[in-house]
Amino acid sequence: MTKRFVNFAILVALLIALVPGAAMAAPPPQEEEGQTYVIQKDDWLSKLAEKYLGDVEAWPAILLATNKMAETDPELNRIDYADIVEVGWMVWIPGDAEAEELLAEYRGEVLPAEATEADPGQTLIVAVPGDLEGWDPATSTYFTSNEMIQTLYDRLVEYEVKEGADGNLYPAQAGGTVDNRYADTTKFKGMLAETYGVSDDGLTWTFNLREGVKFSSGNELTAADVEYSFDRSLNMGKGILNTMLSFAGITDPAQTVVVDDYTFQIQLEEPNNLLLHILSLGSNSGVLDSQVVEAQVTPDDPYAEKWLRNHVVGSGPYVMEKYEPGNQVVYVANEDYWKGAPTLKKVIYKTVPSAQTRLTLLLNGAIDIAYDIPGQDLTNTLNGAEGVKVVSFPAPSTTVFFTNNTVAPYDDVKVRKALCYAVPYEALIDNVLYGLGKPALGPVAYGVAYQKAVNECTYDPEKAKALLAEAGLSDGFDMTLTYREGRPEEEMTAVFLQAELANYGINVELEKIQTAAWSERRSAKTIIAGLDGYTPYAPDPTYVMNFWYITDAVLNTWVYSNPRVDELTAMSVVEPDPAKIEAYIGEAQTIIGEEQPVAWLFNPNWNLAMRNNVQGYIFYPDRATRHHVLYK
């Protein structure tokens, strides 16, 4: 509506301007370099454009040129409203070449009506399906929250970036640059730590912090803040960061040491290969402004948990400006960011619950990025759609069909193998993922170091039947297959499995439950057969084992247990020699492959639909978008 109104206003201005413009004598000669001009009575931008540039429609060139010059030259006046210039203002009339450049830059976009408003070219509008779940890095586990936290907080270290992946689903339409950059998860570089190193015995890690890094509060980030951020989580005794730090061998606040303002140390009891991965986690290892957080501490809330759920005290490339629960989150560029100010000055997250609406908004250009677009729209509706691209990267995610390994008949490995051979893998990838995924090779997905192909299962009904016969279950049995509400892909998979397993006399009853019920039953290990998926944020096999396959793993929903796998995992975490790690973790994967605790259905890609002009995307294994590298 606004656009329309502004357009109309400009049109009227143009018409009015044309009358005196036409009566003018021959236009004065145009200077190649451009010139200043003082606004006279009855001057309009379009009138000047006609007079000096020979084209009434070239007025934006004058506006842009003037505003550009006004940044450095105090004599020139900034034009805030396209239709308001005052007598006596000095504007800049660009030369022909420059004018053309500026017009190209303008690309038909109407300037914002108010100077205080962001330029659409510098604003990123993202549509996400659901509510956001708070901003405490120590406890955040929800994808959207994780994504925001990694953009608002900095960590000690981060992954290097490399090129070469083919990330565009429709290369022909990508138009601009190819999205082929992704995180190299085998190489780290300093983030808040300018340099870092480990002692020869692998026990003492020293991080030399960058000087002069400021929090959004203005406080300088020092080693005390780093220590506080980790100690807070350790003292809380709960939260995902606490669990992850324990994987990295940090369980006691005494292990985190402030040497001086810019030197931070972690002292381990034994070497740990997960440490850097954990410290690089955008979702949880962010460094908090300890002074601000401590000011919010109350006797009831010694770690300011409530306050941190909807406040942000980071040093990241963006600063939170506005949070309206369930509606939108707005953050603005941190102009003093140590890596340099981000190109996109404003990022707006809009909650748009309906996938159809998100799709329509994207097609229309009202938003720049749409999350959670169904596979059929990614491959059909968006195929050939103008101005839209889809990035699709193989992610370290795995979708599984699991059974409780301790409950009959699933305690028999033959039954688990039979179920595994009964899965129509290709049909699932084609019909559920619309081809946007790969067959899974085992417990560890693509992009994870030391991945070993141990999944022997293919779609083989004869073998499945034979295995069931061996297990004495030729006549089949009853199964309740549990999955979560609001997950259309799991629902489709469940229906496929139901139809397929009927061929073996296995009578599958589908049970769709709410996420809350799912979480409770998963925690109590009372889901007997179900569908689940996992994505290791740190793409390391020991991380996968620690969360999903060792006996005590919190997400070992399939109640799998093999002491040798536990032992091998523990050995790999502390082993410095890569060859030995490969041997240990390889053996663990082989064992898991033989015992088939779950059927690995597929590795779905990470798909993101965005406007063509959003450039610079880099894929990270945690799947969160790094906003500061994007530009339009």
Partner 1 sequence: MRLLVYITKRLLLVIPTLIGVSFVCFALVRVLPGNPVYFIVGPYATEEEIAKVKTELGFDRPIPEQYLIYLDNVLHGDLGYAWHTSQPVADDIKQRLPLTIELATISLIITLIVAVPLGVISAVQRGSWVDNIARVVAVVGVSMPMFWSGLLLIYMFFYKLDWAPPPMGAIDLLIEAPPRVTGMILLDSLISGNWEAFGSAISHLVLPAITLALPMIGSITRMTRSSMAEVLHSDYVRTATAFGLPRRTVIYRDALQNALLPVVTMIGVLYGFALGGAVLVEMIFGLTGMGSYSFGSIMNLDYAGVQGVVLLVAIIFVIINLLVDITYAIIDPRISY
State the residues that interact with partner 1 by CB under 8 A.
1-2, 5, 112-114, 116-118, 120, 123, 125, 127, 130-131, 133-134, 139-142, 237-240, 243, 306, 309-310, 324-328, 348, 350-354, 356-357, 360-361, 363-364, 366-367, 486, 513-520, 522-523, 547, 554-555
* Look-up of token digits 């300093």: 190
Question: How near is the Cβ of 516 to partner 1 at its closest, in Å?
Answer: 3
Asked if residue 559 lies in contact with residue 525, where contact means CB atoms within 8 angstroms, the answer is yes
**Closer Cβ to partner 1, 360 or 431, answer by number:** 360
**Residue whose C-alpha is closest to residue 6's, from 132, 91, 156, 114:** 114
Q: Where are the beta strands (DSSP E) in 290-387?
A: 318-324, 328-333, 346-351, 369-370
Question: How near is the Cβ of 134 to partner 1 at its closest, in Å?
Answer: 5
Sheet hosting strand 204-209, strand order edge to edge: 193-198, 204-209, 263-267, 256-260
**Residue whose C-alpha is closest to residue 335's, from 20, 7, 628, 38:** 628
The identity of residue 335, as a single letter, is E
**Closer Cβ to partner 1, 146 or 596, answer by number:** 146
**Closer Cβ to partner 1, 201 or 509, answer by number:** 509
**Residue whose C-alpha is closest to residue 308's, from 220, 212, 236:** 236
Question: How near is the Cβ of 378 to partner 1 at its closest, in Å?
Answer: 18
**Closer Cβ to partner 1, 455 or 569, answer by number:** 569
**Closer Cβ to partner 1, 353 or 472, answer by number:** 353
Calpha distance 291→224 (Å, rounded) = 10
Residue 238 β-bridge partners: none
Question: How near is the Cβ of 139 to partner 1 at its closest, in Å?
Answer: 7
Asked if residue 145 lies in contact with residue 137, where contact means CB atoms within 8 angstroms, the answer is no
201: CB partners within 8 A, 6+ apart: 271
**Closer Cβ to partner 1, 154 or 368, answer by number:** 368
DSSP-derived secondary structure letter, 378: I
Question: How near is the Cβ of 363 to partner 1 at its closest, in Å?
Answer: 7
**Closer Cβ to partner 1, 217 or 351, answer by number:** 351
Asked if residue 215 lies in contact with residue 286, where contact means CB atoms within 8 angstroms, the answer is no
Question: How near is the Cβ of 518 to partner 1 at its closest, in Å?
Answer: 7
Question: How near is the Cβ of 204 to partner 1 at its closest, in Å?
Answer: 28
**Closer Cβ to partner 1, 164 or 326, answer by number:** 326
34: CB partners within 8 A, 6+ apart: 65, 92, 93, 94, 95, 98
**Closer Cβ to partner 1, 206 or 328, answer by number:** 328
**Residue whose C-alpha is closest to residue 620's, from 394, 319, 332:** 394
Give the CA dihedral 88, 90, 91, 93, nearest 10 degrees.
Answer: 100
**Closer Cβ to partner 1, 7 or 40, answer by number:** 7
Q: Which residues of 292-323 are buried (b: 16+ CB within 10 A; e: fewer)?
A: bbeeeeeeeeebbbebbeebbbbbbbbbbeeb
Question: How near is the Cβ of 630 to partner 1 at its closest, in Å?
Answer: 18
CA 3 to chain centre: 31
Question: How near is the Cβ of 536 to partner 1 at its closest, in Å?
Answer: 12
* Look-up of token digits 């300011």: 304
**Closer Cβ to partner 1, 352 or 573, answer by number:** 352
CB atoms < 10 A from the CB of 16, how many? 14
**Closer Cβ to partner 1, 245 or 436, answer by number:** 245
Calpha distance 271→298 (Å, rounded) = 37
SS3 187: strand
Question: How near is the Cβ of 33 to partner 1 at its closest, in Å?
Answer: 35
**Residue whose C-alpha is closest to residue 420's, from 402, 437, 439:** 402
3-state secondary structure 198-225: ECCCCCEEEEEECCCCECCCCCECCHHH
**Closer Cβ to partner 1, 310 or 474, answer by number:** 310
